[in-house]
Amino acid sequence: MPVRFAASFAKPSPWARLRAVLPALLAALLPCSAVAAAASLPEVGAYVDLAAMAPPAMAAEVDRLADAGVASVRLPLDWNRVQPGPGPFLWQRDDAAVDAARARGLDVVLVLGPCAEWAVDPAWQVPADKRANSLPKSPDLWEGYVRAAVSHFRGRVTYWQVREQPNAENFRGARSEYTKLLRAAARAARAVDPAAVVVAAEAGSLDVGAAQLMARSPEWDDVGVVGLYVRPGWPNTSASALRWAVLAGEVLPSAPGAPRPAWVLGGGADMSADLWLQQYLLACAFGAARFYLPASVVSRDWLAPLAGLQYSGFLHLGPDLWALWFRDGSRSLVAAWSEREVVVAPGDIAPVSDPDALLRTAVLGGAPASAVTTREGAIALRIGPRPVLIAGLDPAASASARQPTRADVLAVRPGPDVSKAPSVYADYRIAGDPEVGLYNRPLRTLPGGAVTEEEASGRRCLRTHMRPTRGAQDADDPWVYFDVDDRWLYAPATPARVAVTVECDGAFLGAEKLGFNIMYDSSTGYRFTKWQWVDPPAGQFRRFRVELDDAVFSGRDGYDFRINAKGSKQDLWVAAVTVEKLPPAPPPR
């Protein structure tokens, strides 16, 4: 019954009239597995460097976090702090931090890293202020640090995270170098403490493709917990809900061995409180076991309204309203938010059983504001990006709440549905909306991607901007980014075969002065196709077709592929780009 999920409050559907009988109807029609069983919410934790604080401040912060209701803390075990040189370990400050947290009943997760600066190979010429982001020159040094740490904290700490989000900023190494550290840490830790559990930190943000790759790798045996990060900048809630649905509904359940819990380890530094709350609610819905917030975001007001609740299922999936059912004994509550400010009648969400309780509907997250307002003389709810907790709705309606799949999330995407289209394309001859399932316009603020739409040889094109002047070359815009509509292809777990056809104008500077390749999201990260020269004559548009056998289009960094014209001596004029699906490759003989 996906119709229920696709319902939009901006456009009331005939289903509203059936709402009174819908729960019973759905309960009868839905398979049992489609209805989410009540599940405990993720434990909320905080990440903070307690050991860097003076003792009184540390004690005060631990008290504040414990009083606010956090269950655990994630603390960096800074290698530079505990071993400032290649000599003995100094544990006093971290001992104090771990013991203070444990004394208040908080579980402690220690993060192994950042790297000891003295352990970095001087031959790598890493700038002094970036050495902590590097990696040790020898596995022995790393294993020695891990063994010493796990041995010292044995009995007090079970979970050991390997480095903080190993992206280009935090980890100056290849993906394979991270997995080597992970494997070495797991083996060294378990040799000292068989109960030790290793937490693998993802480099991206809810990167489904990377999680799938990890789940299929030999290092999966060493992973005890899958560590995830959320971030701002996703275009809408649906984009993160889609990642959650595929990760929690497809990738992790199909991974070999015992199920690994997923923890949200953190998020972007510039995430708003609204986004933190939305992401926490999504993590509730998709079964994250823990959710770590920056300590500065944690407050009693944030956590208290959600304490003791159990998640029952989604009632509405965007785009105008996201609503999740929660239960607390006999009490039912609905957490809801909207990506834009809307005013809705409570009855549009579910039948009201307790009007007095409905009046207590409040904005979550430390803002003691009521979400109750009036519309046309009747009680209504004002809902925006900051989630609200709605009381007084009929508990029987929770029978229609269910766990969404990838298809459910995609069904509520705004814009024309291209899921059944034979291809997606961007053809700039088309006036109005030239991008049909293949989008460049929203991506022109990405680095090097400020292309412009201009006329060339009588056709409207996308124009790159190469700057041949010495000293200005690094400020050019050689990249035409594209995002394929997720409804047409979202392939983070199983690489897809696609063909990309680029129609562009020829060179006027001579042969081998203009060319491009395609940098695309693959199962091994972003990689390139072979270089294609676009030779003279100019004024004649030609088509170049390239086949990709391992496209993993999941918008990992906000896009699926980019046309790369860097290396050209003149601008590239792109009139149209088409992406089509290819049948699976025949098996090798």
Partner 1 sequence: MAKLALCMLLLVCVGGLIAVTPRSAAAQEYKMVAGLQPWSAETNFMSLPGYLRWMTWRDTGVWLSMPEADRIVREQAEQARK
Asked if 113 interacts with partner 1 (CB under 8 A), we say no
Among 519, 552, 575, 577, binds partner 1 (CB under 8 A): 519
**Binding track over 406-445 against partner 1, x by CB under 8 A:** ---------------------------------------x
Burial class (CB in 10 A: 0-12, 13-18, 19+), 230: buried
Asked if 128 interacts with partner 1 (CB under 8 A), we say no
Distance CA 379, CA 282 (A): 27
Asked if 557 interacts with partner 1 (CB under 8 A), we say yes
Distance CA 344, CA 383 (A): 8
Among 240, 568, 571, 572, binds partner 1 (CB under 8 A): 568
Closer CB to partner 1, 4 or 172, in the complex: 172
| DSSP letter (8 states) at residue 409 | H
Residues between 134 and 163 that touch partner 1 (CB under 8 A): 134
Least distance CB 563 / partner 1 (angstroms):
13
Phi/psi region, residue 137 (left: phi>0; alpha: psi -120 to 50; beta: rest), is alpha
Asked if 403 interacts with partner 1 (CB under 8 A), we say no
Asked if 367 interacts with partner 1 (CB under 8 A), we say no
Residues between 487 and 516 that touch partner 1 (CB under 8 A): 512, 515
Asked if 570 interacts with partner 1 (CB under 8 A), we say no
Distance CA 83, CA 144 (A): 11
**Which candidate, 397, 377, 348, 276, places its Cα nearest to that of 23?**
397
Q: Near partner 1 by CB under 8 A, which window of 121-129, 139-147, 191-199, 294-302?
A: 121-129
Closer CB to partner 1, 17 or 130, in the complex: 130
Asked if 474 interacts with partner 1 (CB under 8 A), we say yes
Residues between 533 and 552 that touch partner 1 (CB under 8 A): 533
Q: Near partner 1 by CB under 8 A, which window of 2-10, 118-126, 240-248, 352-360?
A: 118-126
Tokens 């042969």 belong to 511
Q: Where are the beta strands (DSSP E) in 182-309?
A: 197-201, 225-230, 262-267, 290-294
Asked if 239 interacts with partner 1 (CB under 8 A), we say no
Closer CB to partner 1, 72 or 205, in the complex: 205
| DSSP letter (8 states) at residue 465 | B
Asked if 527 interacts with partner 1 (CB under 8 A), we say yes
Q: What is the DSSP annotation of 69-120?
A: T--EEEEEE-HHHH-SSSS----HHHHHHHHHHHHTT-EEEEEE-S--GGGS
Among 558, 570, 580, 581, binds partner 1 (CB under 8 A): 558
Note if the bond before 55 is cis, omega within 30 degrees: no
* 383 contact partners, CB below 8 Å, separation of at least 6: 321, 336, 337, 338, 341, 342, 343, 344, 371
Among 8, 167, 310, 419, binds partner 1 (CB under 8 A): 167
**Which candidate, 237, 136, 252, places its Cα nearest to that of 188?**
136
CB 68 within 8 A of CB 103: no
Among 308, 510, 567, 584, binds partner 1 (CB under 8 A): 567
Least distance CB 548 / partner 1 (angstroms):
13
Closer CB to partner 1, 195 or 533, in the complex: 533
Distance CA 517, CA 567 (A): 10
Token digits for 233? 């900048």
Q: Near partner 1 by CB under 8 A, which window of 51-59, 321-329, 366-374, 566-574?
A: 566-574
CB 475 within 8 A of CB 464: no
Among 34, 35, 358, 446, binds partner 1 (CB under 8 A): 446
Binding site for partner 1 (CB under 8 A): 123-127, 134, 165, 167-170, 172-177, 203-204, 233, 445-448, 450, 472, 474-475, 512, 515, 517, 519, 522, 524-528, 530-531, 533, 556-558, 566-568
